[in-house]
Amino acid sequence: METTMTEVQTEWKRLCALDEIPMLGSRVVTGTPHGDIAVFRTSDNDVFAIHDKCPHKGGPLSQGIVHGRSVTCPLHSWKVRLEDGNVEAPDVGCTRSFAAKVENGTVFLQL
């Protein structure tokens, strides 16, 4: 197979079935080289993956309430955007985001 170096590093990996993530909910992926990653499912069945660590004081974002394309951190209610991990104003900060996609009902993560 023809693959360049960068493609090898950013390979798509199968995670789980879409149904295994509750709508407007999340699952945590452990044991990745990047620490714990939270994978969210929105009401229109998009999935997003961000580091499971709030830029404020490290709260577990996977445990927050998901609305629109944001999640509210359960510890002090910062709102983090799922698409890019940026925190909504007036707070500032950013958590790392990872590419995620759904194909035929299966969720893939690019690590």
Nearer to another protein, 78 or 85 (CB): 78
- Which H or E element spans position 7? helix 5-9
Is residue 106 near another protein by the rule CB under 8 A?
A: no
Is residue 93 near another protein by the rule CB under 8 A?
A: no
Binding string, residues 52-91; x marks residues near ligand FES by CB under 6 A: --x-xxxx-------------x-xxxx-------------
Would you list the DSSP string of 36-101?
Answer: -EEEEE-TTS-EEEEESS-TTT---GGGSEEETTEEE-TTT--EEETTT-BBPTTS--B--EE-EE
Could you tell me the smallest distance in angstroms from the CB atom of residue 21 to another protein? 9
Report the alpha-carbon distance of residue 86 to residue 3 in Å, rounded: 32
Q: Which of 10, 35, 45, 58 binds another protein (CB under 8 A)?
A: 58
Q: Which of 7, 10, 43, 45 binds another protein (CB under 8 A)?
A: 43
